[in-house]
Amino acid sequence: MQRQAPIADPAVTVNFDGQSGELVILDQTLLPGEVRYLRLTRPEEVREAIYNLRVRGAPAIGVAAAYGAYLGACRSRASDVPGISRDFQAASALLKAARPTAVNLAWALERMAHAFRASAHLPPTGLLAGLKTEADLIRTEDEEVCRRIGENGLALLQPGWGLLTHCNAGALATSRYGTATAPIYLGEQKGYAFRVFADETRPLLQGARLTAWELNAAGIDVTVICDNMASMVMSRGWVQAVLVGCDRVAANGDAANKIGTSGVAILAKHYGIPFYVHAPLSSIDPACFSGRDIPIEERAQEEIAEMWYARRMTPQGVKTFNPAFDVTDSALITAIVTEKGVIRPPYTESIRALFP
């Protein structure tokens, strides 16, 4: 079941309708041309939405996965807790396999598994209520985390600065505010008058379609540039800071983010521009030693060859390489902005301090 809506409220990018028992997501594959909400009732539908980027952004897919696991338990035909457990675990495994790079997905599902174990002694109605409460907490905590990231990130910026973003780490990628865009939204409220340059972010155009759409709707000065124009914009002195999100931060500070991020970091280093990664603690993986240990998702060649064109734009039979993410070396990252504060090199020490 699908619902049309006017301008999207970032608060309902991903949400749960308690009355109907449906997960409500904004279908981001249709933006900016069409605003449509999808109402999902089965974990298979949630998995499809995550894999096909209808809901995307590490925090948002964590929230969606939590509710997807809950739906798996709700739709169980079993009348006893062991039977519900089997269906819950099957739904969780299905969702976890949807996208491997973003650690928030596994993190949220582990929280749901813990909530299941904590309520397993209750009758089925109590067990389901416990799962719903945990999924709701994951969503509301994400909103507060993003607000704190915004406050901490804004302290690094000055009014009137030019800011460059890559991909979409905005309200569309979280429960509200975004991660890398949170300082921009909070700065707008305080009259900072930032000028934002949004990389289009090939091949899926998250910057051109999503970041530009939501910032423009919020009245923020935003200019879309092709990815290969970032050096020109930086060389003219139009950019004073680069703000990006991430899908996973390793224990040594290496950060995986949308493909092309590492190139932007190299350019920022060359021009002496600070490069800030914005990451909730749920995106930091202290068990992952370095960026070499982060699994990188590879996606279908159609995203490069066909998706945005009236007809195919590469010759038939020509190979493509389509990694969804790359890893930015910690040496290129000026600071990592978290909800607990701004951490700086050496990251092996500052990250360890976040996880006593």
| Cα(153)–Cα(339) distance, integer angstroms | 9
Is omega for the bond preceding 124 within 30 degrees of 0, making it cis?
Answer: no
The identity of residue 217, as a single letter, is: A
| Cα(70)–Cα(249) distance, integer angstroms | 27
Determine what percent of the chain falls in helix, strand and coil, rounding each to the nearest 5.
45, 15, 40
Local structure of 325: helix, strand or coil: strand
Structure tokens at 27: 């279908």
| Cα(120)–Cα(117) distance, integer angstroms | 5
Which stretches within 196-346 are classed as H helix? 206, 212-217, 230-235, 261-271, 302-305
Residue 166: phi, psi to the nearest 5? -135, 140
| Residue 285 annotated as catalytic | no
Helix axes 58-74, 81-96, angle to 10 degrees: 150
The catalytic position among 27, 247, 254, 285 is 247
Rg (CA), the chain: 20
- Given a contact cutoff of 8 angstroms between Cβ atoms, the answer to whether 278 and 257 are in contact is no
Structure tokens at 131: 């799962």
Instruction: List residues with catalytic annotation.
Output: 247
